[in-house]
Amino acid sequence: MEDNAAALDTVQNAIRALGRGFDVNCDTRLLYCKGVGGSRVIEVDEDHTRDLPVDVRCSQGSTKRVSTAICSFHEMAEYFNRKALLSGNVPLGSFNSAFSHTGSMEIDASATKSLAMDGIFISLCEIQLVKYPFSLQEEVKRAVPLSWDPSSLASFIKNHGTHDVIYVKQQTSSPLSVLDIKNYIRDLGDQRFSDNEVSTAPGPLKLKEKDVTVIFRRQGGDELVQSHRDWTRTVHRIPDVIEMGFYPITCLLDGIPGRTTSFVRSRYTLNELRYFLEFQIPRVWAPVRSDLPGLQRKEPVCPFLQFSMMGEKLYVSQEQVLAGRRPVTGLRLSLEGTKENRLCIQAQHLVSLPRILVPHWDAHIATGAPKWLGPEEQDSRWFEPVKWKNFSHVSTAPVGNNETSIGDLAGAHIVTGAQLGVWNFGAKNVLFMKLLYLKVPGCSVRRSFWDHSSENPPARERGDSSAQSSSSKDAKPGLSRFVDLSEMSKGPQDPPGHWVVTGAKLGVDKKGKITLRVKYSLLNF
């Protein structure tokens, strides 16, 4: 009787979950449904029932083995979305959980060469809402924010939301072919699901020498039973939800004032979600150059670097790039001028101040004087030659504000400007960088990290010319072989989506290119 009671409780919970809000960034489990039990987002006729409400249908399930092809990251994400009745390839929480991903689509996709799945799905029954079209409960309609208010939007999303299987993840560094992976997962599945299998413990198994991770997962049944055959006999006694279908709540907001089509693609706490929404502001690169004929600036007089006796000169713009009281979210180097021989620095910043920062950083708030910080001219420990030691060098000293420490409630210092310069030591001229810092009172630094990757290609490779000079839009050889033009920036696609720049440093990579690396921080407001 106790066995039947557990199964009945699971079915009843599944029925009560129909029409409730759900955060699809979470795994497919009933505990992630929004609101208390029975608090549905969708209107369901609860007054007219048979064994079930008239708007609910229950049909018998089936047992089947499901194997996928060897898929790319985005193909597998799209497969999981189709199973959940959703479009696109933005990863669901169930997808991230199945393959033990971090939840950052960019990081996970770049680290994954291929994915595959082979599993036995034992479906006891399928329960679904048959009422159509769906309509929202009146209290849900009233809860929709009437304007772009990050705090209210975060609260709305928080309250209403937006098997036995083998998963195989092949990293980009793995030398195995598609056929190797296909044969491997087939043999592994045949062994695990056969009646005379040798028991295989659940959890991840990594073939380190081949950079392949094998993950065994079960949902429902007795997790302590290792044999697949014996485990299947426990599923009727301890069932669990293994699949869900979803309907985007934004599709039900037509005609409701204040509806929004913004989708949150990463999982956040309520506070993180609000910060993320606060930073959903357009970003621009400064300074902005004009590409109109006749409006080109006169070539300025600049100091220069030279990397060999007869080598071409790389001029260095000493222009101060200022963002004002708008958070800087990225930096990059660029080559400007008609000959693309002038090195400049550009800063990406928000076009306006997020509301959450207005009480701390609005124009009338006293913050103290801004301060330019940079390396010491006499500190040659940080000088690195670009090509030959008898010619131009780069100061690779990190630039930061030592007055700011993590958790310091006195205020945080963040970057609001940047400038390049050259120290004149004859043939051994040294390139250096200064950053402008301004205090944000009442805020503290929660976490910081140095980003040494340069995954974002130059703007010209992406077709983005919003802040590039006309000469830098067309890729040419020449001095670009000495400068890494990659963008260093963090935006909404980088969880938790509200990074600001608090430091940077120049460097020289193994190819003899001048590089720029950036320190990002999260603030407590």
Q: What is the pTM of this model?
A: 0.65
424 lies in a domain?
yes
Read off the pLDDT of each residue in 71-100 and give the average, rounded to a whole number: 88
Pair 252, 315 in one domain = no
Higher pLDDT, 49 or 63: 63
Pair 83, 158 in one domain = yes
- Residue 90 class from Cβ within 10 Å (0-12 exposed, 13-18 middle, 19+ buried)? middle
Pair 442, 339 in one domain = yes
314 lies in a domain?
yes
Pair 284, 239 in one domain = no
48 lies in a domain?
no
Containing 132, the helix (H) or strand (E) segment is none
449 lies in a domain?
yes
**Confidence category of residue 195, pLDDT binned at 50, 70, 90:** low
Mapped to the 3 state alphabet, what secondary structure does 447-488 carry? EEEEECCCCECCHHHHCCCCCCCHHHCCCCCCHHHHECCCEE
Which pLDDT tens digit goes with each residue over 346-388? 999 999 999 999 999 999 999 999 999 999 988 889 999 999 8
Record the tokens describing residue 410, joined without a space: 């006195």
* Domain span including residue 426: 280-288+302-524
Pair 284, 212 in one domain = no
Strand order in the sheet with 212-218: 63-67, 112-122, 164-171, 212-218, 203-207
How far is the CA of 343 from the CAs of 233, 258, 314, in angstroms?
70, 46, 7
Give me the pLDDT at residue 231, please: 82
Pair 248, 341 in one domain = no
248 lies in a domain?
yes
Which pLDDT tens digit goes with each residue over 396-407? 999 999 876 666
Give the total number of structural domains in the chain: 2
Which pLDDT tens digit goes with each residue over 258-314? 444 444 444 565 567 788 888 989 999 999 865 544 445 566 789 999 998 888 899
Which pLDDT tens digit goes with each residue over 298-326? 667 899 999 988 888 999 999 999 999 99
Pair 162, 308 in one domain = no
Containing 46, the helix (H) or strand (E) segment is none
Record the tokens describing residue 252, joined without a space: 């039900």
Record the tokens describing residue 39, joined without a space: 């608090």
45 lies in a domain?
no
Pair 306, 252 in one domain = no
**Confidence category of residue 461, pLDDT binned at 50, 70, 90:** very low
54 lies in a domain?
no
269 lies in a domain?
no
Pair 457, 309 in one domain = yes
Pair 249, 306 in one domain = no
Q: Residue 45 above 60 pLDDT?
A: yes
Pair 101, 248 in one domain = yes
How far is it, in rounded angstroms, from Cα 306 to Cα 314?
6
- Residue 304 class from Cβ within 10 Å (0-12 exposed, 13-18 middle, 19+ buried)? middle
Pair 395, 517 in one domain = yes
Q: Residue 97 above 60 pLDDT?
A: yes
